Amino acid sequence: MAPGDQSTGLARRLITVAPGSRLEGAAGSGGELWYVISGGGRLDAGGHREAAVREQSGAWLPPGTRYLLRADPDAEIRLDAVALPEPEPGTAADPPHLADLRDCEVERTGDRRFRVLLGPGRGCEAATQFVGEIPPGRAPEHTHPYDELVLVLAGQGVAHVGGGDRPLAPGARLHLTPGTPHCLENTGSDDLVVLGVFHPGGSPAAKTERR
């Protein structure tokens, strides 16, 4: 877990399940958003039984949901799991929901593309999980009204955050608190691909540019 990932209640785990092995447990008190980085297998969670999950699959597991994930026998599963803050008392949670990035509509903000797997109106009202594609170049510095965790999936770049710079490569993690000035610059020749989870839920296009 990267420093700062749980300062506001968001907490990230990067999990590896060996070929033919299983991961069993229960979602935390705020629920969890999962994303399969690589590999595949079968998931039992809530009303889902033996549901196929593979690279680029997303899953919402509401608070306390028991799960059993079985990895395929020929490859390990690499999984990003983000636990959400505990909701206000009396808040109803959406039931377990699965999504596949390949089925998600491509949306745009400027020259940047993103696809939302889970979020308000898409199986999870509490938070949003999306994959963004950033072309070469640097966007204007901006802020967001939500708390966000970012994981770099592919590409190279630099994160300009709060007046400092940080190199980006696959596996790099960022925690962006509400109102933190930042921008992600793609310094490579291919797209910089990032997985984002933010709380509370909303649109990845919601931002305020700094002048």
**pLDDT tens, position by position, 73-124:** 999 999 999 999 998 888 888 999 999 999 999 999 888 999 999 999 999 9
**Same domain, residue pair 89 and 29:** yes
CA count, 13 A, side-chain hemisphere, 111: 12
Domain of 194, CATH number, reads: 2.60.120.10
**Which structural domain range is residue 151 located in?**
102-209
**Same domain, residue pair 110 and 156:** yes
Which pLDDT value is given to residue 211?
55
Nearest Cα to 60, choosing from 113, 6, 121, 18? Answer: 121
Q: Which residues of the chain have pLDDT under 70?
A: 1-9, 208-211
**Same domain, residue pair 181 and 199:** yes
Does residue 2 form part of some domain?
no
Torsion of CA 44, 49, 55, 57, to 10 degrees: -90
> Of 79, 99, 119, which residue constitutes the final position of a domain?
99
**Same domain, residue pair 142 and 200:** yes
Torsion of CA 170, 141, 124, 149, to 10 degrees: 40
**Same domain, residue pair 31 and 107:** no
Which pLDDT value is given to residue 93?
83
Does residue 63 form part of some domain?
yes
**Same domain, residue pair 17 and 89:** yes
* Residue pair 47/123 in contact by the 8 Å Cβ criterion: no
With a CB cutoff of 8 Å and minimum separation 6, the contacts of 97 are 59, 60, 118, 122, 123, 124
**Same domain, residue pair 106 and 141:** yes
Which pLDDT value is given to residue 122?
96
Nearest Cα to 144, choosing from 95, 197, 106? Answer: 197
Which pLDDT value is given to residue 203?
81
Tokens of 123: 């199986």
How many domains does one find in the chain?
2
